[in-house]
Structure 1
Amino acid sequence: MNDPLAHLLDALDGVGGSWPVSAGGERLPIESLDETQLVAANDRLGRLRRHLDAVHARVASEIARHSRPELGPDGLAKKHGYRNPIALVAATTGTTNGDAARLVAVGEATAPRPTFSGEDAPARHPHVAAGLSSGSIGMPAAAAIIAMLDRVAMRCDREILDAAEQTLVQQAAGLTLDQLAKVIARAEAHLDPDGLEPKESELRADRALHIFERAGMLHLRATLDPETAAPIKTAIEALVSAEFRAQADALGGGAANGAGTEVSAEVSTVDGDEPAAASAPGSGQLRALSPADADAPRRTVPQMQADALVLLASHLLGCDHKDVPIEGATVVVRMTLEQLTEGTGAALIDGIDQPVSVATARRMAAGGGVIPCVLGSHGEILDWGREKRLFTRAQKLALAERDGGCAGCGLPPGMTKAHHIRWWARDAGPTDLDNGVLLCDSCHHRVHDNGWEIRIDGTGVTARVWLIPPRHVDPDCTPRLGGRARFDYAA
């Protein structure tokens, strides 16, 4: 069955028919549902919403077809007093013109195309259409995939484009729209690597920092290209992460190894050094952000990021060694040996979603504070730049290469720590790559406190990380792909 309306009606029946009822046969109010019932209801409503998207997109495309410009005043939209079909859809659904335009575009791209013979030809994007119809993806994901495929369509072979569409639809299931955007950006770089350098030139030309005063506050508004942004983002995230750890230690929040938490005191994930001690300006060392005492007001993350920027500027003004980077903060740029030698393809920067050209990666690797990671054809690390001699740091770099950041949620490496899968004290777990994983604090607590398990398939940086839910979450304990493999484009 490939009828979107039939799928929608089935999903609607599923929501109503499976809603929990009382002993008297009355449907329970939402606030009376237990945790298991709430999760089940949310899953069914999510599926219903995705099926509703599929039907609404088809309806919107039909409205657009009946409102074609050549129909003039007899067009459907104009008959109902609207300038165009987008305005009609936006007004009648209470959404924005942009959302209505995406709905129409998705409908037109996924609806069967009528031919002169009267038969229907396949949809322009059949895999997206199938994903929408089955309910595995919703309209926002479909719109993002279609927009990217249409951008590269003139510069990419049709068979390759078709395979990419199928892959992206498969990967989109279960990802948030932000996570999918990261996958799509890498897919576009893979499909159209020659388009990266012209795009980067435009982005560099558009970089800007606006500074102005208003209502007693100094406002900074920056727009930065990936190459410019990488060291700034890495430095600020390193300082904020160090402060979170310092606060936890000051408040007694650090967990002992014996309790199952492997805590390392690195400033960033890929660094094994201790945080720099407080020192006077001009000493060549950057002062660590001071942990707040227990009674001090807790600052928000944006406030901590603002303080980190102030600290960087204060250090630069007072330091005799202007070229000293933040202790331990590392920008990693990765590419394959083939890309490095031939100068083609795309490279990735840890913490930055947008891929860059190999020319940009080469330029960054030539500067200070940046480590090039060059991979062989089988994914083995061929070169870690100047950092290879530091074994502990190299291990964490390798974990960052394998996991790409938090293996659970995909946060950048600078916001994660290396943890033992088999605990160091309880299980005598070894400190090696196959027993290590990068996790942010939130995912680490979720794994240890809620009974999740982690499995590593394979060896080295090409291994795959699997997160295994407990039975109260999934009775079948179906493994969920994590790490870089979940968020990278699976070409």
Structure 2
Amino acid sequence: MAFFTDIERQVAVLRGLFGGDVEACDLSSRMAGLGGNELVDAVTAAAELARAAERVSIVGAGITASRSARSTGQDGLAQSRGHRTPAALVQDLAGLSHAEAQRQARLGLALLEADATDAVDADGTPDAGDARDSVAPVPPKVRPPWHGKLSEAMIQGRISATQQDTILRALGHPTEDDAGTHAAWQAAAEHLIEESAQRTVEELRIQARAIRDQLDPAGAERRYAERYGRRSFRIWTDADGIERGRIDFEDDGAAWIRAIRDAALRHRRGGPRFVDSAEAVQAKDLADDPCTNDQLSYDLLIDVLRAGALADAESVFGTRQAGFRIVQVMDASGSAVSTRTEDYGLSLPLAAAQQRVCETGSVTVTVDPFGNPLNLGRESRVFTPRQRVALSIRDGGCRWKGCERPASYCEAHHVDEWHADHGRTDIDRGILLCRHHHMQLHHSGWRITRAGKEDFVLHPPDGRPPTALTPRAALIAAWAGVDPPPKRFRPQVA
């Protein structure tokens, strides 16, 4: 659809919902009178308009930046208007923060870089639409930038500018300038574009970083070491006499802190309901505690520091000791392909996983090429701990679209009811859902179905179209479709 035609269509939607033109001061009262579906339509149309306007702003910011390059000196567009940088001019014109103005300029320049290759065909000859002298020299072959598809998807409205920037920054730049490396990064970008419809921005960032670490294992080790080198803890007294602190975590430390917090506060933050009687009492006391989650987290951290290395795990954490699992994907030869934490899916270098295996041991779970665990069939009415590990590896957390609850906060749901459907407690008939979405499924008329080992499908109760529930953390390499893929980027899932 043409750009302005789409804008006019969204404006028409809003006019229809509001009953014609409306004063800005009346927006709240008009929207408060809308029904639930109408309100969703209004917010959706407004979001589409905002994204369309942002695309114009980004293109303008990129052109402003290109016309304000350092080589232009005082004749540059920003400089001639009294601004030191193009971001400062964009900030002044649009009323943005400096960081947002820089982001728009960065994305706009990426878009211009992709557009610069459009005038040259893939074989290096001038574009047929250009009027050129027949004796003019043929320009050298220009390879489109690997991120060109990201700019194209943003301009077409298939991804937002925030999603584009998240993917672009998380993937980083290719490590080499050869065609194979370029193709691998391009395929990863195209995969993440497709994933963006099913992922939150935070999930996209984690997934893109994991892909980058798999594409660039040497760089992953270096970045891991750099984050370790930046670790710090600082405490100071502010002007009001309040003691304040700041921690910059490295990867292992951050994973441990999350695990400690989740182990103690899981029930307060929406953890599973199916616990033993002792833990149920603790869960009720925690839910009734008037302290905020931040206050409880602080008290927990102080308790852990006090207890130190001799802490009795049960007295601090209840019936469940803190800890975090590391998931390694192995290829057919037994070599590790990628490494991540089970909760949150944070990427780790292979050396960190090998260190943990030496300390705590490992459990092998074999999966098929689609990430479905094998050889862990029906054992009882309730999913066993071993099956829960397999579900956690496959799903990565709550599968409900947009939910970010990690695997440790989830409950295993039977797609087929045990009694009504004679359901089996098989891995391929189970799915992880957080407590909230599990209860919503059972009490609000939602259904989840699955045909064989295809995607799980969520069916709303009001007749809206069903939605495929994609895994939180894909175990299959995003660049598998590159033909042929670079040799060092050809992982296989056992």
Under TM normalisation by the shorter chain, which class is it? 0.7 to 0.9
Q: Report the counterpart of residue 334 of structure 1 in structure 2.
A: 327
Whether the 8 Å contact between 1:405 and 1:411 is mirrored in structure 2 is yes
Select the residue among 1, 4, 9 that pairs with 1:14: 9
1:128 to 2:150 alignment? yes
Q: How do 1:132-211 and structure 2 match up within 5 A? A: 132-154=154-176, 157-211=181-235
Q: CA deviation at 1:199?
A: 1.2
Matches within 5 A, 1:38-437: 38-111=39-112, 112-113=115-116, 124=145, 125-154=147-176, 157-212=181-236, 218-242=243-267, 263-265=273-275, 291=285, 297=290, 299-316=291-308, 319=311, 327=320, 329-338=322-331, 341-342=334-335, 345-368=337-360, 371-373=362-364, 375=366, 378=369, 379=371, 392-408=384-400, 409-424=403-418, 429-437=423-431
- The count of corresponding residues between Structure 1 and Structure 2 is 440
Counterpart pick for 1:478 among 466, 470, 475: 466
C-alpha distance in structure 2 between counterparts of 1:337 and 1:443, whole Å: 32
Aligned to 1:447: 441
Query: In the aligned structure 2, how far is the partner of 1:372 from the partner of 1:444?
Result: 28
CA offset digits 1:39-74 (Å, max 9, x no partner): 112222222222222222211111122222222222
Task: Look up the equivalent residue of 1:365 and give its one-letter code.
Answer: V
Which residue identity lines up with residue 250 of structure 2 in the other structure? Answer: D
Q: Residue 104 of structure 1: CA displacement?
A: 1.6
Deviation at 1:416, TM superposition (A): 1.8
More moved, 84-93 vs 426-435: 426-435
Corresponding residue of 1:34: 35
In 1, the alpha carbon distance for the partners of 2:45 and 2:241 equals 50
CA, structure 1 residues 399+169, in 2 after alignment: closer, same or farther (shift >3 Å)?
Answer: same
Q: TM-score, normalised by structure 2?
A: 0.76
- Paired with 2:32 and 2:425, the residues of 1 have a C-alpha distance of 46
Q: Aligned residue for 1:269? A: none
Match of 2:456 in 1: 465
Q: How far does residue 318 in structure 1 lie from its aligned partner after superposition?
A: 6.8
8 A contact 1:190–1:346 mirrored in 2: yes
Q: How far, CA to CA, are the matches of 1:230 and 1:304 in structure 2?
A: 18
Provide the rounded CA distance (Å) in 1 between the counterparts of 2:325 and 2:106.
Answer: 38
Q: Secondary structure of 1:99's match? A: helix
1:230 alignment partner AA = A
Superposed CA deviations along residues 345-398 of structure 1, whole A, max 9, x for unmatched, are: 430112244311111101112224x755554664576999xxxxx982112111
* Cα distance in 1 for residues equivalent to 2:73 and 2:313: 71
Contact 1:416 1:441 in 2 (8 A): yes
Q: Give the letter aligned to residue 256 of structure 2.
A: P
After superposition, what is the alpha-carbon deviation per residue over 1:7-60, rounded to whole angstroms, capped at 9, x for unaligned?
2x2232112212354898666932222111111122222222222222222111
Taking structure 1 as reference, are residues 456 and 367 closer, same or farther at Cα in structure 2, changes over 3 Å only? farther
When residues 89 and 166 of structure 1 are mapped into structure 2, their CA distance, relative to the original with a 3 A threshold, is same
Structure 1 Cα separation of the partners of residues 227 and 189 of structure 2? 27
Once residues 372 and 36 of structure 1 are traced to their aligned partners in structure 2, the CA distance between those partners, rounded to angstroms, is: 47
Q: Distance in 1 between matches of 2:466 and 2:374?
A: 35
CA contact (8 A) 2:365 2:390 kept: no
Q: 1:377 to 1:37 in 2, by over 3 A?
A: closer
- Aligned partner of 1:431: which letter? T
Q: 1:232 deviation in Å?
A: 2.7
Which position in structure 1 is the counterpart of 2:490?
A: none
2:61–2:105 Cα contact (<8 Å) kept: yes
Q: Secondary structure at the match of 2:54?
A: helix
Partner Cα separation in structure 2 for residue 67 and residue 277 of structure 1: 63
Mapped to 2, the partners of 1:419 and 1:12 lie a distance apart of 42
CA contact (8 A) 1:332 1:372 kept: no
Q: Secondary structure at the match of 1:351?
A: coil
TM-score (norm 1): 0.77
- The alpha-carbon distance between structure 1 residues 82 and 414, as it changes in their structure 2 partners (threshold 3 A), is same
Partner Cα distance (2:287, 2:407) in 1: 27
Whether the aligned pair in 2 keeps the contact of 1:209 and 1:222 (CA below 8 Å) is: yes
Q: Which amino acid aligns with 1:113?
A: A
> Mean Cα displacement is larger for which, 108-117 or 301-310?
108-117
Give how far 1:185 is off: 1.4
**Alpha carbons 2:83, 2:89 under 8 Å: kept:** yes
CA contact (8 A) 2:399 2:431 kept: yes
SS at match of 1:466: strand
Change (3 A) 1:113 1:153: farther
